[in-house]
Every structure is written in structure tokens, then in C-alpha cells.
Amino acid sequence: MSFIDFSADRCILNNPTILPLAAGFLWNPHMMIHMTARGFATAQFMQPEPAKYARAQIMEAKHFMLPEQGTYAHHPGRFFYVKDRETGSLFSAPYEPVRAPVEGFAFEVTPTDIRWRVDRPGLRVEITLALPVDDACELWEVTLINSGARPRNISFYPAFPLGLMSWMNQSATYDAALGGIVANCVTPYQKIEDYFKNQSLKDKVCLLSEQTPLAFETRQARFEGEGGLHKPDAIMAEQMADGVALYENPIAALQFDHELNKGERVTHRFLFGPAFDDAEIMRLKATYLSEAGFARARVAYAAYMSAGVKSINIESSDPHLDSFVNAWLPRQVYYHGDTNRLSTDPQTRNFLQDAMGSVYVKPETARKTLLKALSQQHANGSMPDGIRMYDGAELKYINQVPHTDHSVWLALFLEAYLDETDDYAVLDTLVTDGETQTALPVRERISAANQWLIQAVDHRGLNFIDQGDWNDPMNMVGWKGKGVSGWLSLATAHSLRLWSQILERDGKDGAEYAEAAQRFNNAMNTHLWDGDWYGRGITDDDVKFGVKADIEGRIFLNPQSFALMSGAADADKQKRMVAAIEDQMETPYGVEMITPAYTHMREDVGRLTQKFPGVAENGSVYNHAAIFYIYSLYQVNESEKAFELLRKMLTGPNDEDYLRRGQLPVFVPNYYRGAHRQHPEASGRSSHLFNTGTASWLYRSVIEGLFGLKGSREGLRIAPQLPASWPSARVTRHFRGATFEIDITRGKPGLSVDGQVLAGDAITDIVAGKTYKVLVTI
């Protein structure tokens, strides 16, 4: 029996140590929490910038010292200690930090909550974490059950470390009127203008209890004492000391004593999260902190989750894949489009690609995203490096570095959106940009973006790269103003070709863009075809890279993928590229982004070469790049190879694969470790990061590639590309308000709808609300 039980409804891990980083995540419009099986948490909320309310124990700072603060560095967690008052034995649930052996364990991730069951001799602890929809707070329910044959005299301690809240001012105490621990701080600032910004911040953190505790402790150092988090002095004492934290790292720890007879149980409910003032804390308490309040929150959250409607439900020869596609993948797609990765300045490329996924789960969100992005278009037609989500938001981190690819994603997004919705009226929608205050229709704005791409070229006709394209850390190829990107030139060709087709379908002339696309493809074939694959680019010093002459970074995946999409590669080139990728880049865990990975800095490529080999952009199985390739394979009917690599993107279903990757199959991660030929012992490990543009492209590849259910102006086109190992499949496809129940079988190719044979591959004249019975033979 596997140590993971996986279905569309839940994923259960039954061992607390075998996958130490296994985790699930929850979100609402205001916050996100990533929760591990062992009890560690990473959570943040919007105010409006992303902020944490449980932090690390010390802040790294090179510019000044913090001698008054402790130097321990525990990761924030949500811990529940249980002490036997008769024997003094101690354990903690879910598992950290005591790490005491358990008789039974279950970490259960569902689409709407996260649960644990921990069994110790004679005692069971059941924990549920849920979120409300309308507030940034965590709702914890903990039930203690006497499962033994004798009465138990126990003490129970929720303990949530709050970390270093502020080097300026931090404190915490128990507030009897509010019914819990309230920690206060002052957000540090240096510039006077930041003082006024900080006045609206939620500088309080509370842990509220439905029941009145016997005692409390808010001083992290006193709570731990000499025993540390593993065996805290405050817990080993008869009663906690009601300590008040005065400019010291706080912890929210409460004590409850219970005598439980055989079979008896007691349930606690807690609310944990940030707040602006006592009035907000009181409102949160009144709204949620009761059995009825928790119940209402569960119902509301279930409704919120159901707003992300999945496009397909599948039954195939691979039940593991079915569960992922039917529940977990659309959930991850919904998260991205709904939260913009909890950023106030999402990268434009991410903003548009995440919205591409929304096309299939919540198309109204996708439409709003397009209009929001275009409202920030520059006067020259180019798109900004990031989208400001509110007035006053600043471009931060990577968005302060000029990248040249953001305009290409408009047409790629629009193709998916229009195929799914047939909302060509959006092209006539007027959008006013903030730079010129000019109102232009979407059609003109997309044309302007593509025109900018057409002119942003060198003497060869290849796109300049500036300080990066899709590959963020490729920052030194063109920083002197001469370097060009082979990938971007192909992506531009693809964008131009798509835009030409969209214009033609809209009754407009798209020939100009089709001709420009061909020029880009010709330039790539003239300057960067290297015999078996396309080079990645040409540096400021006129050096081609990503070519056979390179010892490291010899072949990059992205140019090959977009050469298939753009039409640059003819049949012979396709065959050579696919063979080269299979020979050099494929691994048991997917296809690598770069091979071989760089082992030292290459100053004419950039900081990606400083990353450890096989990590992130430097040769990992970077799933966003891998899904570009998979999607492109479906475009040229390389269905067997496409499915082989697609299937490797999902962890499991065997235990060996789970152990290697270390991740539950409830999301597709940003990357798996690569450099398989250089460091095989580490390859396959998951990054555990669920923020990734992979999700949207993967969902699209499954819908339109694997099952071939692609929208068009005419209706729904059906051209499945099932792997040869599948004798049949069943799919329910939701499309333009109608439902299509599709049976795919092997035999003489044909298509029938409601018993009537169709001559082509498209179902037209679709009636919203109707259910169609479709039989496809392949």
C-alpha cells in the first residue's frame, strides 16, 4: 500500500517523516498559506503590499546589528503541544517541533481545507485549518480524543511563534476582553514619506481562543527556556507564567487543562491573523470564532472555490492523471488568475499567461486582465515590465530590470481567450492608457504591441534582448544594447502569426503581420539554425550561444519549442530538434531547460550561470519551459512524445517517484532539479513552489492537445491526440455554456453528435444549456 492516497477529493500522506517538505496550500482574495505536513507555515496577506504576520526569528541585515534579539532562526510554525500531566510525556501535533513517534498519522489536503490526524497511545488529535473568504485570518479547529481505556489528565498548548515583528517596537500580552493574545509592533521606516504609508498597516497579530485559557506565555525566549522548542520550559512547568513580551520576539502560547474520560473529546477553535486595531479583532472574533461561525465560513469558502469552474472532467487509463486534471490542476489555475500570485506588481508576462488559464476556469477574469494590462501600455506600443494593480503600486525586484518579451504574450493570450469565448467584441473595446490618456480599441493596442516587436530588431532582423526576455536572469546578453534573443525572435514570429490569423477571422487584413512573421522565421533560419537546433541568441560582442560550439549551455529548450509554434522549423528541422532534445535534455523527471548546466559565471550570458547547476533557470526541469515544449509538440502532432513528457510533470503514482521528488501531487511545481547527467543524485527534487506559469499552459495542453477539444469561431473542434497506450477515454467538456459528453475510442476515424455523423471535425451552432452526446473514433 502506498504511503499516499490520492484522488480528486483529497490527498493523504500517512507518514510525517517520509516526505519532510510535503505541503498543501490555501488562499482567498486577501491571503495565502503554504502549510507543511509537519506543521511549518509560510503565509502572507495583502495590505496592499504582501506582508507576513508570522515571521522568522531574526532579520538578516548587513547594515546594522541587532544585539538585543535572539539569534535562533526557527521557521514559523503552527504547533500544538500535548502533555500528560501524570507522566510528564510530551508530544506535538502535527509533528514539529517535538518530533515524538506516532502510532498513526494522516496529513490530508483537500480543495477547501487542510487536515491532520495524529494518534498517540490512548490519545488522538484531529486538526483542521480553513480560511474564510473575506478576511486574512486562519481558522483552526483542534479536537482532542481519549482513545484509550483509562482517563487522561492532559495539558494542551497551541503555540504560534511570531518571530521578529519589528526592530523598532514589538510587544505582546493576553487581552481578556478580546479573548486571546495580541501582539503589537511598529513597522520600521527610514524615509518620512513611508511613515504616512505605514499608518494604514495592520501591525497587530492575534491568536484568539473560543475557550478561556488557564494561562499564557508571550515571550519566545522564556517559553523555550533551556529545553528549546523541542521541550519548552514553559510547557514542562505546572503552569505557564502569563509572561508579557516587552520588546522581545513574541510567541502566542496558551494553556488549557483537560480531564478526559474514555471516549471523551473536547474541541478548541482558534483564529490567527493580522489586524489593524482592537475593533477589527473584535469583529473577526464575532464573525468567525464559534461553531456556527466556522460552519458559515466553510460554506462560503466552498462556494468561493466552486467559482473556478473546471472546463473538463476526464476518465482515462490513468486514474492518477484523472484526479489531478479533474480537481487539482484547475484549482491551481484558478489560484493564479484569482490572486496574481499575491503580488501588487505582477510581471506582465505572468499576468497574461496566468490569465490564459483563467480563460478555461473563469473567463470574465481573463477579460478584465487583458484590459488592465493594456491600460498600462506605453505610448510606443511596448508593454511594461510589471502591471501596477492599484494606484501608487511600485514596480519592484525583477520588474525594475528592462525585459523585452512582455508584448508577445498579448496575442498568445488572445488566441486562447477568443477560441474559448468567441468574444471578438473585446477587440472593439476602448482602453485608455495612463501614459497618454488616449482611448484606443483593443485591436489597435495589440497591433501597436506587435508593431513595436517588429521594429525592435538589429541589422539581422532579430529582436534585441536588453537585460532579459522570458528568461529573467539572462541579464548580460544585451545590456550594452547589441545582443539579441533567438527565442524572442521566434516568439515574435509566433505572436505575429497568431495576430494575423485573429485579424483575418475578425474580417480584417492580417497580411502585414503574416509577412513580418515570415521575416523573423527567415532571420532565425539564416543566423541561428545550428544544424540540429536553434541557438539561444547572439551577445553584445557578436558571439552566438546555445550552439554546438558551447561546452556549457549548449542547447536551450525554448527556441526549439517556439520554432515549432512559429512555423520556423520545417519537417526536417523538427525531426532533428526533437531527436537532439531527446538525446541531450530528457530525464526521468521531465525535459531540462538548458543542457549542460553552467558551472561558473559566463559574463556575456548573465546571472543565471551563477545559479547552482540544475537549479531554476540553470538546467532544471523548469516546468514552464517544459510545458512550452509539450504544447508545441501537440501543435505538430508529436503526440506520443508530448504525452510522455506531460506525464512526467506530475509526481507519482509510485512511491519511488514520490520519494525522489518529495512532493504531493496536488500541484505542479515551478521546477524539479535538473543537471541529471551532471548531478544524478539530486535530480528530480521538487522546488515545492506552486507559483508557476506552467499551470495555465498545462491545462491548455491537456484540453486542446491531449484531448483535442479546441474552440474556434465556428464552434468546438475535436481532434484528440491520445497516447497509443490508451484504448479509449471519456471527457465531459464545458464550452460556451453547453456540455459535451465525449466518448473517444479506437477504430475507423469519425465523429458523430447525438447519433448524426459529421463530415468535418467541428461541432457548430452550439446552443448554450444543451448537452451533446459525442462519439469520436481515432
- Residue whose C-alpha is closest to residue 274's, from 217, 225, 202: 202
First-to-last alpha carbon distance for the chain, in angstroms, is 36
User: What is the chain's alpha carbon radius of gyration, rounded to the nearest angstrom?
Assistant: 28
Assess whether the previous peptide bond of 653 is cis (omega < 30° from 0): yes
The beta-strand segments (E) located in 578-714 are: 586-587, 590-591, 594-595, 621-622, 671-672, 709-711
Q: Is 472 a catalytic residue?
A: yes
Give SS3 for 771. Answer: strand
Q: Crossing angle, helix 408-421 and helix 486-505, to 10 degrees?
A: 40
Other beta carbons less than 10 A from residue 583's beta carbon: 11
Cβ 753 vs Cβ 740: under 8 Å: no
In the set 472, 530, 550, 604, the catalytic residue is: 472
Give SS3 for 25. Answer: strand
User: 587 is written with which cell numbers?
Assistant: 530525464
Q: Which residues contact 470 (CB under 8 A, 6 or more apart)?
A: 349, 403, 405, 487, 488, 491, 558
- Residue whose C-alpha is closest to residue 47's, from 284, 273, 294: 273
Cβ 771 vs Cβ 739: under 8 Å: yes
Decide: residue 172, CB within 10 A, 0-12 exposed, 13-18 middle, 19+ buried.
buried
Q: Which residues contact 424 (CB under 8 A, 6 or more apart)?
A: 418, 505, 506, 713
Cα distance between residue 37 and residue 25, in whole Å: 11
What is the DSSP track for 416-432? HHHHHH--GGGGG-EEE
Cα distance between residue 19 and residue 512, in whole Å: 55
User: 23 is written with which cell numbers?
Assistant: 505541503
Instruction: Give how far Cα 147 sits from Cα of 128, 267, 321, 483, 566, Å.
Output: 19, 15, 37, 69, 64
Cα distance between residue 154 and residue 42, in whole Å: 30
Cα distance between residue 607 and residue 479, in whole Å: 12
Return the bridge partners of 255, or none: 215
Cα distance between residue 758 and residue 740, in whole Å: 15
Instruction: Give how far Cα 643 sits from Cα of 154, 503, 586, 594, 717, Å.
Output: 54, 32, 13, 21, 20
Return the bridge partners of 312, or none: 733
Cα distance between residue 436 and residue 775, in whole Å: 53
Cα distance between residue 696 and residue 698, in whole Å: 5
Cα distance between residue 300 and residue 283, in whole Å: 17
Q: DSSP character for 47?
A: S
Q: Can you say whether the dihedral through the CA atoms of 654, 743, 695, 595 is positive or negative? A: positive
User: 182 is written with which cell numbers?
Assistant: 495580541
Q: Can you say whether the dihedral through the CA atoms of 414, 417, 420, 423 is positive or negative? A: negative
Backbone angles phi, psi at 59, to 5 degrees: -100, 125
Largest CA distance in the chain: 85
What is the DSSP track for 231-262? S-HHHHSSS---B-EESS-EEEEEEEEEEE-T
User: 611 is written with which cell numbers?
Assistant: 545559479
Cβ 762 vs Cβ 713: under 8 Å: no
Catalytic residues, which ones? 472
